[in-house]
Amino acid sequence: MRPIISIVLSFLFSTTAFAAGKAEHIVVVVWDGMRPDFNTEQYTPTLHKLAQEGVCFGNHHAVYLSATEVNGTALATGAHPAHTGIMANKEYRPRIDMLKAIGTESSETVRAGDRLTKGRYLKLPTIAEILQSDGYSTAIAGTKGVALLHDRKERDEHFDLGKILYTDKTLPTNAWTQLIQSLGPYPKSAQPNAGRDEWTTRALVGPFWKDGVPKFSLLWLSEPDFSQHDFGPGSETAQAALKSSDRNLARVLDELDRRSLRGKTDIIVVSDHGFSTITQTVDVAKALQGAGFKAAREFKRSPSKDDILVISNGGATLLYIVGRDLKLTRKVVEFLQRQEFTGVLFTRNPVEGAFTLDQANINTPNAPDIVVALHWSPDKSSNGTPGLVFCDESGRKPGQGMHVTLSQFDMHNTLVAAGPDFRRGAVDELPTGNVDIAPTILWILGIKPPKPMDGRVLTEALTIGGPKVRAPKTTRIEAAHQQQKSVWRQYLQRTELNGVIYLDEGNGGLQPR
């Protein structure tokens, strides 16, 4: 039987010095949207075997919002949105676009953001940037645009410390031509997106590793997220997508074996978030309009102080009140507390019956006035997969997949690690999170981050020791607001370990008085 890593008050490893591990290389493979309960011998034999060989993390967490760009940035920086500046896939950045939402991962947004902030679009350095500044090489390859957030510095062909592929673009730009010559045309999108994921994997282990495996590599696969969105988690197409990602993991491991580097490489397989199934769709903007609020998905002119921009992120909706009027904010919150689609409300300023943005570590300079985490339930879908959510996104329908809520199925995601610095055949039941990946990688490599990170070193999973691990503490905070004939109540369950706050789940609803 596999040993369980115990939760203890005093941990055996109490090393305080910053010491390097044994691995000469670290490879991170991201399976976008991978739920931990789908890591089975049937669907993912390679990942399942890797979990048996190394450490399977049984209580892993995404950061909130449980979205791709938010967690991609958390994985890269070891920090929460409040410190990275990225709190949603789609945000309102009026200095970039006064009238509508921007995609936080798009190259146009990234370049504009860096110009406006003198290179501080991300407020903290990434793993790749830290390693390159120390003279180490890196390689990033992603089928999705989020890969750009890991290593966005513009460069020419003479920069030899880092190459990056993000969808069908590269840095340096001439690397794209070299990839096409080596791998052939970029495949068309399909369901599942196996062709593009395989092409991206071959780009990493082929041309990007041609002159040797770098100190740090990251591969971001689009599946199973791509298929789960259209067909729902647990569907036949999503199951095929799982097998596709598993084959790409096998390609990475086979290449390391071929180079006789498997024993010198730590492999980390992680997902950005979990996944749920849509039970009902809503239009938050339309609901607000029906209640008399000046809400819009996009402004047609320069907005006035009582205009509200409504930006959907699937399982969460952001509301930007242009004049930031607290009285108007309270009215909107009271309206939302009467809606069946509302799960948890967060506000920039304290409002009765809501939590503040600070309580979820999402209070960025560009944060909205109100965040609506949509309602969820643990019930099963027609595919037999637990986790149903409301969805505010045009074009989506019940039975398809979504995330970004505070559902336990969105907030808990996959983490498996194996290699010379990780224990063998172990299950870590302590709370862990995406913010812990970067500090753990730097600890293994013996590199001190230029600034403290929000995450912790995963000492309990390592063979090389690390900072002392204390006992976790789980708490439940609540907020309530008296309505005429009912009471709005919402909760947020959080677990703290070594100063790191992990959000477990949250939900809310009206109850009789």
Half-sphere exposure of 368 (CA within 13 A, CB side): 27
Domain with residue 183: its CATH number is: 3.40.720.10
Cα dihedral 407, 409, 411, 412 in deg (nearest 10): 150
Using pLDDT thresholds of 50, 70 and 90, give the confidence band for residue 7.
very low
Residues 267 and 292 reside in one and the same domain? no
8: confidence class by pLDDT, cuts 50, 70, 90? very low
CA-wise closest residue to 80 among 458, 499, 446: 499
In angstroms, the first-to-last Cα distance of the chain is 50
Q: Mean of the pLDDT values across residues 284-309?
A: 97
Report the alpha-carbon distance of residue 224 to residue 243 in Å, rounded. 9
Share of the chain above pLDDT 70, in %: 96
Q: Are residues 270 and 282 in the same domain?
A: no
Choose between 59 and 8: higher pLDDT: 59
E strands present in 215-323: 216-221, 265-270, 276-281, 295-296, 308-312, 316-321
Report the pLDDT value the prediction gives residue 38, as an integer from 0 to 100: 98
Separation CA 219–CA 240 (nearest Å)? 19
In this predicted model, what pLDDT tens digit does every residue of 129-172 receive, in sequence order? 999 999 999 999 999 999 999 999 999 888 889 999 999 999 99
- 8 A C-beta contact, residue 12 and residue 408: no
Question: Same structural domain for residues 250 and 314?
Answer: no
pLDDT surpassing 80 at residue 113: yes
Same domain for 297 and 258:
no
Backbone phi, then psi, for 233, in 5-degree steps?
Answer: -65, 135
Residues 175 and 282 reside in one and the same domain: no
Q: What is the CATH number of the domain that holds 334?
A: 3.30.1360
pLDDT of residue 156: 87
Same domain, yes or no, for 400 and 417? no
> Does 300 fall in a domain?
yes
Q: How far apart are CA 325 and CA 304, in angstroms?
A: 12
Taking residues 467-482, what's their average pLDDT?
97
Q: Token pair 């789980």 is at which residue? A: 474
461 in a structural domain? no
Phi, then psi, of 496 in degrees rounded to 5: -110, 135
Secondary structure of residue 38 in the 3-state scheme: helix
How is residue 436 annotated by DSSP? G
- Which residue range is the domain that position 54 belongs to? 4-84+125-274+412-452
Over residues 338-364, the pLDDT tens digits come to: 999 999 999 999 999 999 999 999 999
- Over residues 16-30, mean pLDDT: 84
> For residue 511, is it within any domain?
no
Which residues on neighbouring strands pair with residue 494, listed in sequence order? 475, 503
Residues 6-26, mean pLDDT to the nearest whole number: 56
Give the number of domains in the chain: 2
* Residue 108 placed within a domain: no
Give the C-alpha separation, 450 to 429, whole Å: 30
Q: Confirm whether 90 is domain-assigned.
A: no
* The last residue of a domain, from among 373, 404, 435: 404
| CA dihedral over 59, 63, 66, 67, signed as positive or negative | negative
Judged against a pLDDT cut of 90, whether residue 416 lies above it is answered with yes
Mean pLDDT, residues 241-252: 98
Residues 431 and 377 grouped into a single domain: no
Domain boundary residue, one of 386, 404, 422 = 404
DSSP letter for 433, please. E
User: What average pLDDT does the structure give for the chain?
Assistant: 95
Quick check: is 226 in a domain? Answer: yes
Q: Are 5 and 428 in contact (CB under 8 A)?
A: yes
pLDDT tens for each residue of 427-441? 999 999 999 999 999
Burial (CB < 10 A; 0-12, 13-18, 19+), residue 119, is exposed
Residues pairing with 415 in the sheet? 270
Distance CA 100, CA 92 (A): 7
Does 443 lie in the same domain as 308?
no
Q: What is the mean pLDDT of residues 66-71?
A: 98
Instruction: Let me know if residue 393 belongs to a domain.
Output: yes
| d(C-alpha 336, C-alpha 344), whole Å | 10
Do 161 and 306 share a structural domain? no
Strand partners, 162: 138
Work out the pLDDT band at 18, boundaries 50, 70, 90.
low
pLDDT score, position 9: 27
Residue 77 has pLDDT above 90, yes or no: yes
Q: Are 491 and 478 in contact (CB under 8 A)?
A: yes
**Residue that is last in its domain, among 383, 404, 425:** 404
pLDDT at 85 over 50: yes
Residue 292, class by beta-carbon neighbours within 10 Å (0-12 exposed, 13-18 middle, 19+ buried)? exposed
Helix axes of 437-445 and 68-77: crossing angle, nearest 10 degrees: 30
Whether 255 and 339 share a structural domain:
no
Q: What is the pLDDT of residues 483-507, one digit of tens each?
A: 888 999 999 999 999 999 999 999 9
Kindly indicate the confidence band of residue 3, based on its pLDDT and cuts at 50, 70 and 90.
very low
pLDDT at residue 10 is higher than 80: no
* Residues 320, 247 share a domain: no
Q: Say how far apart CA 321 and CA 330 lie, in whole Å.
A: 11
Shared domain check, 335 and 379: yes
- pLDDT on residue 19: 58
**Domain presence at residue 58:** yes
Q: How far apart are CA 439 and CA 126, in angstroms?
A: 11
d(CA 403, CA 274): 7
CA dist., res. 293 & res. 99, Å (int): 18
130 and 449 in contact (C-beta within 8 Å)? yes
